[in-house]
Amino acid sequence: MIADVRLGGRHKVTGWDVARHARELNPDIAVVYMSADSGADWTAQGVPKSILVAKPFAISQISTALANLLNESG
């Protein structure tokens, strides 16, 4: 799963919230967060065994992050 931390919109749901809910449904799901300004909150808000990629990023960074998480869980 790839989640932007700040989803926007009038609903106050965040990428942190979406990832926590996804982990409730599937405890093994790989989670990559992306954010331009919320990196400092990752250790407190992020789910365990996740990765945060700072914006701006190259698409290869997302691919590498997902591959690393999937290799760890496999």
Contact 30, 63 (CB under 8 A): no
Whole-angstrom Cα distance, residue 49 to residue 15?
Answer: 15
pLDDT per residue, tens digit, the chain (74 aa), is: 999 999 887 878 999 999 999 999 999 999 999 999 988 999 999 999 999 999 999 999 999 999 999 998 76
Whole-angstrom Cα distance, residue 63 to residue 70?
Answer: 11
Q: Extract the tokens encoding 9.
A: 């919109």
Instruction: Give the homologous superfamily in CATH for domain 2-73.
Output: Response regulator (3.40.50.2300)
Whole-structure pTM value: 0.89
